[in-house]
A = this chain, B = another copy of it.
Amino acid sequence: MRVRVLVSPKQGILDPQGQAVERALPALGFEGVANVHVGRLIELDVEDPSQVPAMCDALLTNPLVEDYEIVETAPAPHPQPAAHPQHLS
């Protein structure tokens, strides 16, 4: 099972990376962007997906400052990530 862990900075904690992106985008001509946050994406193949929350609490995230969300993707793939970026919705 391929699993993704989406880690974002906890609400209310200063996120300078997100701010930097938010400041830089209008300078490149991208308007109408708000609320930018930058976090971490961890992708892994696991035999037992029920272990993932424990992995998150122990190692993958710091619960004091980060929230996370676990998303299971394809069943046990060794997939080629798209060679070209895809737009999924």
| Chain A 18-58 near chain B by CB (<8 Å), digits 1 or 0 | 10011011001011111111111111111111011111101
**Number of interface residues, chain A, beta carbon within 8 A:** 58
> A71 in the interface, Cβ–Cβ < 8 Å?
yes
Give the distance in Å from the alpha carbon of A88 to the alpha carbon of B56 in the complex: 14
**Can you identify 27 A-B contacts, CB atoms within 8 angstroms?**
A8-B81, A10-B81, A21-B44, A28-B58, A30-B55, A30-B59, A31-B47, A33-B45, A34-B44, A34-B45, A35-B43, A35-B45, A35-B78, A36-B42, A37-B43, A40-B40, A40-B41, A41-B41, A52-B87, A56-B85, A67-B82, A67-B83, A69-B82, A69-B86, A69-B88, A71-B89, A72-B88
